[in-house]
């Protein structure tokens, strides 16, 4: 197969007008998102506290906890409402929140509790935004190109992850964290503009469910009867709760172990994004399997161990690239597997369950890992992440062995 043919296969979703428009707008917004995340962690760690990893963990808990707290409504909303219109509402709300936090910060009025409140409000809005944004991809490209489109979405997100932290470091140096928040507020215009430009007649609308009192319970029953979905959710819980705490891992190692400035911190985040970007491109050309999840989880555990033992800044950055490849392989594969194997009318609820499991454990995992990093040192927080990866790999191995036997 020629390089051109491989490239065409990897990028095939971009041949669709609606997906091209969406991808362009999403890239702008994703860069803004990473600018804000980097600036928010830096603000909490270096300005509002004395290098408190626990405070960063609390921010993460408040930001991701609503994925679980609002689960009875978010998935049903994604299956019931017009997804394009719902996305416009959530994106506009997050833009307003970014501007408000930015104004508080640039005027010097921001306090730690303000960041806590805005993290929770962002989390509540994102809880509705995330499942509809993930299932909306099906309406853009249809089922045939769904795995490719999901992988390209991750490629965009992780390209932004490479660019955003580095941009944030420059903005923080010139205009402080408040300037970074204002830039993020503007970036949402990318997605809002893309949603307005879509050719509505070319969408692939999914079946809409009838909103009833038992819609949420119906989704629970659907997952209860699917052993494969249960296994994936258990793996996601382990890694999501104790492993995907990169804001804590990277910020505490940057400040407390390697003693770098905002630019050095941003470069570490970008280093991990290099790995996730490479993993996303590789995922765009293949169909995921349960074995892919096992490999991704095991590699994640190994990457965290390498990072925990890294003797210097550059070897730590290299280990972060390994973690990035592994995390992307694992999360992307779980996303594609769950969407493709789920009935179209149930996708919103199943994806809401997935996101609730991935992020819903953060209120427990992030403060716990933050406390471990504060008490025993940042390297031990990474050891916890390694254990979560190896445990998840064990769950996948158990499922595959049992499936082979039966």
- The pTM score is 0.75
In a domain, 92, yes or no: yes
Spans of the chain below 50 pLDDT:
1-7
pLDDT tens column, 124-151: 999 899 888 888 988 998 877 877 887 7
Residue 4 pLDDT: 46
Residue 392 pLDDT: 96
Task: Let me know the angle formed at the C-alpha of 243 by 240 and 248, rounded to the nearest 5 degrees.
Answer: 110
Report the run of H or E that residue 206 belongs to, with start and end: none
In a domain, 316, yes or no: yes
Residue 7 pLDDT: 47
Q: CA-to-CA distance for 145 and 354, rounded, in angstroms?
A: 21
In a domain, 292, yes or no: yes
Structure tokens at 365: 């995992």
Determine the structural domain holding residue 308 and report its residue range. 11-203+210-405
- 377: CATH: 1.20.1250.20
In a domain, 3, yes or no: no
In a domain, 192, yes or no: yes
**Number of neighbouring beta carbons within 10 Å of residue 1:** 7
In a domain, 2, yes or no: no
Q: CA-to-CA distance for 68 and 224, rounded, in angstroms?
A: 17
Structure tokens at 240: 């999501």
Q: CA-to-CA distance for 3 and 1, rounded, in angstroms?
A: 7
Residue 280 pLDDT: 67
In a domain, 103, yes or no: yes
Domain total of the chain:
1
In a domain, 4, yes or no: no
Residue 286 pLDDT: 65
pLDDT tens column, 29-63: 999 998 999 899 899 988 899 888 889 889 988 98
């Amino acid at each position: 197969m020629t390089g051109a043919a491989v490239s065409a296969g990897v990028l095939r979703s971009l041949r669709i007008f609606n997906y091209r428009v969406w991808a362009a707008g999403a890239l702008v917004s994703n860069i803004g998102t990473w600018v804000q995340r980097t600036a928010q962690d830096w603000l909490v760690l270096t300005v509002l506290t004395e290098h408190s990893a626990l405070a960063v963990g609390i921010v993460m808990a408040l930001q991701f906890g609503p994925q679980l707290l609002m689960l009875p409504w978010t998935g049903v909303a994604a299956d019931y409402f017009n997804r394009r219109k719902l996305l416009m509402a959530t994106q506009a709300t997050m833009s307003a929140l970014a501007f408000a936090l930015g104004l508080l910060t640039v005027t010097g009025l921001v306090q730690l509790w303000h960041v806590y409140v805005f993290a929770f409000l962002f989390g509540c809005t994102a809880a509705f935004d995330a499942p509809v944004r993930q299932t909306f991809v099906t309406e853009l490209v249809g089922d045939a190109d769904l795995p490719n489109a999901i992988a390209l979405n991750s490629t965009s997100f992780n390209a932004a992850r490479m660019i955003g932290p580095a941009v944030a470091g420059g903005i923080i140096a010139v205009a402080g964290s408040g300037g970074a928040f204002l830039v993020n507020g503007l970036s949402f215009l990318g997605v809002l503009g893309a949603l307005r430009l879509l050719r509505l007649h070319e969408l692939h609308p999914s079946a809409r469910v009838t909103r009833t009192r038992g819609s949420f319970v119906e989704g629970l029953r659907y997952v209860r009867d699917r052993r494969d979905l249960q296994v994936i959710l258990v793996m996601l819980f382990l890694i999501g709760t104790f492993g995907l705490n990169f804001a804590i891992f990277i910020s505490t190692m940057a400040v407390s172990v390697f003693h770098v400035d905002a630019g050095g911190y941003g470069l570490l985040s970008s280093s991990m994004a290099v790995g996730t970007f490479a993993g996303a491109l590789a995922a765009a050309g293949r169909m995921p399997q349960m074995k892919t999840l096992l490999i991704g989880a095991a590699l994640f555990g190994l990457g965290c161990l390498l990072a925990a033992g890294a003797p210097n800044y550059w070897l730590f950055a290299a280990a972060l690239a390994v973690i990035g490849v592994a995390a992307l392989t694992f999360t992307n594969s779980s996303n594609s597997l769950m969407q493709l194997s789920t009935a179209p009318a149930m996708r919103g609820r199943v994806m809401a369950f997935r996101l609730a499991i991935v992020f819903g454990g953060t209120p427990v995992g992030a403060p716990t890992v933050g406390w471990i990093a504060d008490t025993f040192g940042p390297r031990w927080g990474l050891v916890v992440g390694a254990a979560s990866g190896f445990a998840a790999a064990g769950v996948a191995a158990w499922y595959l062995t049992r499936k082979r036997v039966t």
